[in-house]
Copies of this chain bind each other. A is one copy, B any other.
Amino acid sequence: MSRVRVHNFSVSLDGFGTGEGQSFEAPFGHAGTRLHEWFFRTRAFQSMHGAGGGEVGVDDALAQAWGPGIGAEIMGRGKFGPQQGPWPDLEWKGWWGDDPPFHTPVYVLTHQLRPTLEMQGGTTFHFVDAEPAEVLRLARDAADGGDVRIGGGPSVVRAFLEADLIDHLHVVIVPILLGRGTRLWDGMEGLEERFPEIESVSTPSGVTHVVFNRP
């Protein structure tokens, strides 16, 4: 059975998955790059973006799990871009340039539909206005037996958790306090009861990986 997975999802100690004030200059708002410094340093991230090098420690090992077995991604509109309301400019094709690192179909959740975008390297962005279970059916069909990754942001991960659709949740706790932004954990009382396997590991970068899994 195809599984639904979240990987490399960084939150601050106070539980914010993104800061306040997202813009073209600041995709994570006032958080800046602070939630993802650990990730940028990994070989997983560097190779995702066509660069060589990067560290190969425990952070990297966990970050690498992002790719294998994934056949489609679902993301929120805020991950695709900072625009709100009607699209001001159909030339915007995401933050990632002509060859995004996904290499699979990607379903972007938005009330503002627009034509499908076929990018280089196998990434195709579909824009859909649907409930979690409904878009998951689409993504599973497209994944052709592969797993579906929920790519974020925090509101999208939360919606899928609320619908109890996630089988594997890899969260990375970064020891900073953002104070404001969008929280991952609100309304999640008892979430741990749904996951028989919960593991935590702190790494030399200072972050702590927490993995919730159900077989």
Contacts and interface: CB of A to CB of B under 8 A. Distances in A.
Interface of A: 13-15, 173, 175-180, 185-192, 198-202, 206-208, 210, 212
A173 B14 CA distance: 11
A111 to B, nearest CB: 28
A200 B207 contact: yes
A176 B194 CA distance: 11
A179 B175 contact: no
B177 A210 contact: no
B188 A179 contact: yes
B177 A190 contact: yes
The A interface, classified by DSSP as helix, strand, loop or mixed, is: loop
B199 A208 contact: no
B208 A173 contact: yes
Given A14-B15, A177-B192, 17 more contacts: A13-B210, A14-B188, A15-B185, A173-B173, A173-B200, A173-B208, A175-B192, A175-B200, A175-B212, A176-B192, A177-B190, A179-B188, A179-B189, A200-B206, A200-B207, A202-B202, A208-B210
A13 B178 CA distance: 15
Nearest to A186: B14
Contacts of A210: 13, 175, 208
Nearest to A191: B177
Given A13-B210, A202-B208, A180 B189 contact: yes
17 contacts: A13-B210, A14-B185, A14-B188, A15-B185, A175-B198, A175-B210, A176-B192, A178-B189, A179-B187, A179-B188, A179-B189, A179-B190, A180-B189, A200-B206, A200-B207, A202-B208, A208-B210
